[in-house]
Structure 1
């Protein structure tokens, strides 16, 4: 579903009136593990003085989440299981097309020469890594209809979205309806929801709780979670992220939803991530039908009230036992839930060059891990490792092939080596690295 940079430049030279979607016919049946509804954005990043600004940087939630999934999806097959949509305007740099092509993903390029590419300004105004953002050109949001235009993307196992609670509900409802209309219904996808920062406010808390039943993972960062609760999520002196505030906010949010199990993954910068999942009735594994309890035969009982000589022990024994004399009650397996911190991969600030996109990259890694059957703890480990590659430089990490024949490398490091190191550090086991 990609287009080469030469062909892109030729089309840019033509004054085409309609949006052009480029797909390869041979890839229409590609299985997609991950797709994002995050936008592609060309970034301008302004740092605190004396660090100069960075211009024309490959960015956006769509780009970075696709990167997170791609890090764990080596070519030739798994890289094509990562899907995303790139809306190109008349100002789209050809060098970006060339760079994206090197990732070998199932990227769908949509060219519209009558508009500008979505661009954004990112500003870091203090040392807390709190980012301010604004669009500098009109944005082009993605919808469920955009996925319908490319059937493999609509069938994705996991879908990532960055939006308000209300828009998340609309998107999930529309996506599920469109999937049900396909000739072979692929079932519901995993939904990884990243709340949009501007609407993480106390006024939106009820909307947030109403959205949780529709998603599999809700993942705000520490500031966004705190925003729902009307606080800043920092320690009393404002010097660092408060882990206690994160835990308390998760407890309050999950306690308000007692009748079902929900999972929150809070991204907390240098503190790592916090997994909060409330307990409840454990669901059977996918595809495994829950056994129906045997119907008990009706017993003959004397009608009427209790008598002074009624044998109470025999009466209750008859009520509680089945025909074979065993206690007849349904056994319910209970999920105890999870409350767990996982550390950030980079433990020293000097390793972090630019945090922009780290959270999106985390969620791309997490989502593709869940799509491939990993536990939530291991999926968060994938996310932590993915984020580590995104924040080591301005923009995206450098991809190159290992000259010694050991597969591809990002920033000169094999992803599987970094993952193995991290899993060992946090005492988590893992299966073989995907290939």
Structure 2
């Protein structure tokens, strides 16, 4: 059963979470030990950080509270993919045929060990707040925005349009930001206009270039991420910072009042060797898990929940995302709105994590 405590939040359709990231058709390669890149025996799949983020939100809120623009050309968006998207809720998506002569955005994900590289194969259409104005997502404008900087620089342009619409329409959305590829200088300039900054562990290493050993222990890595979290909080985002640390889980901190001590907290990933039901094979593909985390976190914050609660929702969203290639599967178990994802209830996983952490 759905968590009854969330009925009021999920019924509030005046609120909406929108991602500014584009839909992408993903293809995959792997670089072998010999350094040769080879195609992976895996069909093309629905991709894009925004797609995974909005599906992460969808695990906790109804489709009427979500939005994403999908720019496409009919010949390069398989009908099967469109049908799959609509299974999550047709009202989530705004499909727009591209008029610029380019096909639906397509990209290659290159895996080299545990590291994933990414490259566009076709030109994307990069969205901004003004992109919403000709769509139904402008009425009302969203209460929460999810943005990824890639390909940077993007954040300052997006924030400039947010400020313009704030002056013209009184719009003041919450902003959840993945600062991929942005410089530290840009991050420091815009932080006060951002609610939640959420880099992953690779971005942290890129931003700060900390001195670490060639083969660091988990404890050494955690210390690096904790220090980075404190540095990022010091630039004063409105809510705080979350660093997504892959299988280690995440560390996070709320922005404290002036001159107060920063308290960094850790949350284990939902799937870990101590979890009932854990097996090595439970993690099939990490693609999109960090984006889904941010979507789950955005859903919690948009629903008025705390950052402590938000990282749990994010962790649960990521847990479903890694269990298969592509997006997790949603099923309506009895026709009255109760939903399962990959055959399980996300709210039960939220309760499990809360019990683990002594929160209930």
TM-score, normalised relative to structure 2: 0.84
**Shift of residue 54 of structure 1?**
2.0
C-alpha distance in structure 1 between counterparts of 2:324 and 2:213, whole Å: 28
Displacement after TM superposition at 1:80 (Å): 1.1
Contact residue 35 and residue 84 of structure 1 kept, 8 A: yes
Mapped partners of 1:131, 1:265: distance in 2: 20
Match of 1:82 among 24, 46, 66: 66
State the distance in 2 between where 1:269 and 1:394 align: 17
**Residue 351 of structure 2, aligned match among 415, 420, 423:** 420
1:176 aligns with 2:198: no
Per-residue deviation at 1:156? 1.0
Q: Do 2:330 and 2:339's aligned partners in 1 also have CA atoms closer than 8 Å? A: yes
Is the contact made by 2:194 and 2:238 (CA closer than 8 Å) also made in structure 1?
A: no
Does structure 1 residue 347 correspond to structure 2 residue 332?
A: no
Is residue 32–residue 152 contact of structure 1 (8 Å, CA) maintained in 2? no
The answer as to 2:67 corresponding to 1:116 is: no
Matches within 5 A, 1:19-30: none
Q: Report 1:215-254 matches (<5 A).
A: 215-231=194-210, 236-238=214-216, 242-254=221-233
- Do residues 68 (structure 1) and 56 (structure 2) align? yes
d(CA) in 2 for partners of 1:388, 1:51 = 26
Kept in 1, the 8 Å contact 2:197–2:237? The answer is no
8 Å CA contact retained: 1:278, 1:337: yes
| RMSD between superposed Cα atoms in Å | 2.6
Cα pair distance change 1:66/1:347, threshold 3 Å: same
Structure 1 position 179, deviation (Å): 4.2
CA distance in 1, matches of 2:213, 2:357: 25
Q: Distance in 2 between matches of 1:43 and 1:85?
A: 17
Change (3 A) 1:228 1:150: same
Could you say if the C-alpha distance between residues 52 and 70 of structure 1 is closer, same or farther in structure 2, counting changes exceeding 3 Å?
A: same
Give, in whole Å, the separation in 2 of the partners of 1:151 and 1:175: 17
Separation in 1 of the partners of 2:253 and 2:203? 15
> Contact conserved, 2:229 with 2:252, CA < 8 A, in 1?
no
Q: Partner of 2:144 in structure 1?
A: 158
- 3-state secondary structure, aligned to 2:348: helix
Partner of 1:57: 45
TM-score after normalising by structure 1: 0.70
Structure 1's 400 and 48: CA in aligned 2 closer, same or farther, altered over 3 A? Answer: farther
> By how many angstroms is 1:260 displaced?
7.5
Match status 1:398 vs 2:318: no
Cα distance in 2, alignment partners of residues 120 and 353 from structure 1 = 20
Taking the TM superposition and a 5 Å limit, the aligned residue runs for 1:3-402 are: 31-47=14-30, 52-73=40-61, 78-89=62-73, 90-104=75-89, 105-112=91-98, 114-126=101-113, 129-150=114-135, 152-153=137-138, 155-163=141-149, 166-182=153-169, 185=170, 187-196=171-180, 199=181, 204-231=183-210, 236-238=214-216, 242-255=221-234, 257=235, 263-281=240-258, 337-348=262-273, 349-402=280-333
| 404-413 vs 379-388, greater mean Cα deviation | 404-413
Question: Contact 1:41 / 1:118 at 8 angstroms: preserved in 2?
Answer: yes
2:323 partner SS: coil
Q: Which residue number in structure 2 is paired with residue 322 of structure 1?
A: none
Q: Which has the larger radius of gyration?
A: 1
Distance 2:195 2:326 in 1: 29
| CA 210–356 in structure 1, closer or farther in 2 if over 3 Å, else same | same
Cα displacement (A) at 1:389? 0.7
CA–CA distance in structure 2, aligned partners of residues 346 and 261 of structure 1: 30
Q: Structure 1 residues 93, 239: CA separation in 2 closer, same or farther (over 3 Å shift)?
A: farther
Q: Distance in 2 between matches of 1:37 and 1:146?
A: 9
CA contact (8 A) 2:21 2:147 kept: yes
**Residues 39/231 of structure 1: CA separation in 2 closer, same or farther (3 Å cut):** farther
Partners in 2 of 1:168 and 1:223 — Cα distance?
Answer: 19
Structure 2 Cα separation of the partners of residues 239 and 132 of structure 1: 24
> 3-state DSSP class of the match of 2:175?
strand
Contact kept, 8 Å, 1:46 with 1:54, in 2: the verdict is no
